[in-house]
Amino acid sequence: MNGSHAEEILQKTADVSQQISQPVVTFRALTAGALLAVAATVGGSYARFILHTTRLDQNHLSMAAVFPLALIVLFLARPLKLSRGELIVIFCMPLIGSTMPTYFIGKLIANISAPHYMASPENQWTTYFETHLPAWAVVPEGQALRWFYEGLPRGASIPWDVWIVPVFWWITVVFAFYGCCLCLMVIFRKQWVVHERIDFPLMELPLAILEPPEEEGFFRIPTLNRPLFWLGFALPLFVIFWNMVSYFVPLFPVIPWKLPNINFGLEFQPMRVNLYPVVVGFGYFIKLDLLFSLWFFNMLTTLEVGFLNRLGFKTEFVGLHSTAPLPMGAQSMGALIVILLVGFWMGREHLRGVFRKAFKNDPGVDDSDEIMSYRTAVYGFLICGLYLAAWHYGMGMELKFLPLFLFGTLIAYLGITRVIAEAGVISLRVPLMPQSFGMILMGTDMLSQRTLVSVALSYALTSDVKTTIMPALAHGLRLFETLHTHRRKLLWPLLVAMVSGVLATFAYTIYMGYENGAANYGAIFTQDAASGAWNEMVKKSKAPVGTRWKPLSFIAIGAAATGLMMFV
Between CA 93 and CA 177 the distance in angstroms is: 18
pLDDT tens digits, residue range 509-529? 999 999 999 999 998 898 877
Selection from 21, 34, 40 nearest residue 90 by Cα = 34
Q: What is the pLDDT of residue 530?
A: 84
CB 484 within 8 A of CB 12: no
The residue type at 245: V
Q: What is the pLDDT of residue 25?
A: 94
Between CA 480 and CA 493 the distance in angstroms is: 11
- The share of the chain scoring above pLDDT 70, in percent, equals 96
14: pLDDT strictly greater than 70 = no
CB 470 within 8 A of CB 181: yes
Residues whose CB is less than 8 angstroms from the CB of residue 394 and which lie 6 or more positions away in sequence, other chains included: 134
pLDDT tier, 12 (very low <50, low <70, confident <90, very high otherwise): very low
Q: What is the pLDDT of residue 11?
A: 46
Helices (H), 326-401: 326-346, 348-360, 374-395
**Span 416-437, average pLDDT:** 92
What is residue 521's three-state secondary structure?
coil
Q: What is the pLDDT of residue 445?
A: 92
**Span 396-411, average pLDDT:** 96
Lowest mean pLDDT among 16-25, 299-308, 391-400, 486-495: 16-25
Q: What is the pLDDT of residue 7?
A: 43
**Span 9-30, average pLDDT:** 64
Q: What is the pLDDT of residue 479?
A: 95
**Span 53-66, average pLDDT:** 84
Give, as one character, the DSSP assignment of residue 200. -
Q: What is the pLDDT of residue 161?
A: 96
pLDDT tier, 401 (very low <50, low <70, confident <90, very high otherwise): very high
**Span 469-476, average pLDDT:** 96
Residue with the larger pLDDT of the pair 15 and 123: 123
18: pLDDT strictly greater than 70 = no
**Span 283-302, average pLDDT:** 90
pTM tops 0.95: no
Longest Cα pair distance anywhere in the chain, in angstroms?
Answer: 85
CB 493 within 8 A of CB 25: yes
Between CA 424 and CA 418 the distance in angstroms is: 10
Between CA 388 and CA 390 the distance in angstroms is: 6
pLDDT tens digits, residue range 246-261? 989 999 999 998 889 9
CB 460 within 8 A of CB 524: no
pLDDT tier, 21 (very low <50, low <70, confident <90, very high otherwise): low
Angle between helices 528-542 and 449-458 (to 10 degrees): 160
pLDDT tens digits, residue range 63-103? 899 999 999 999 999 999 999 999 999 999 999 999 999 88
pLDDT tens digits, residue range 98-136? 999 988 999 999 999 999 999 999 999 999 998 899 999
Residues whose CB is less than 8 angstroms from the CB of residue 316 and which lie 6 or more positions away in sequence, other chains included: 545, 548
Q: What is the pLDDT of residue 8?
A: 45
pLDDT tens digits, residue range 168-214? 999 999 999 999 999 999 999 999 999 999 999 999 999 999 999 98
266: pLDDT strictly greater than 90 = no
28: pLDDT strictly greater than 60 = yes
440: pLDDT strictly greater than 90 = yes
Residues whose CB is less than 8 angstroms from the CB of residue 319 and which lie 6 or more positions away in sequence, other chains included: 326, 329, 330, 432, 433, 436, 440, 551
CB 422 within 8 A of CB 198: yes
5: pLDDT strictly greater than 70 = no
**Span 550-557, average pLDDT:** 94
- Cα torsion for 355, 410, 343, 466, to the nearest 10°? -130
Mean pLDDT of the chain: 91
The residue type at 238: F
6: pLDDT strictly greater than 50 = no
Lowest mean pLDDT among 56-70, 326-340, 348-362: 56-70
Between CA 328 and CA 301 the distance in angstroms is: 7
CB 350 within 8 A of CB 190: yes
Between CA 560 and CA 183 the distance in angstroms is: 30
CB 554 within 8 A of CB 334: yes
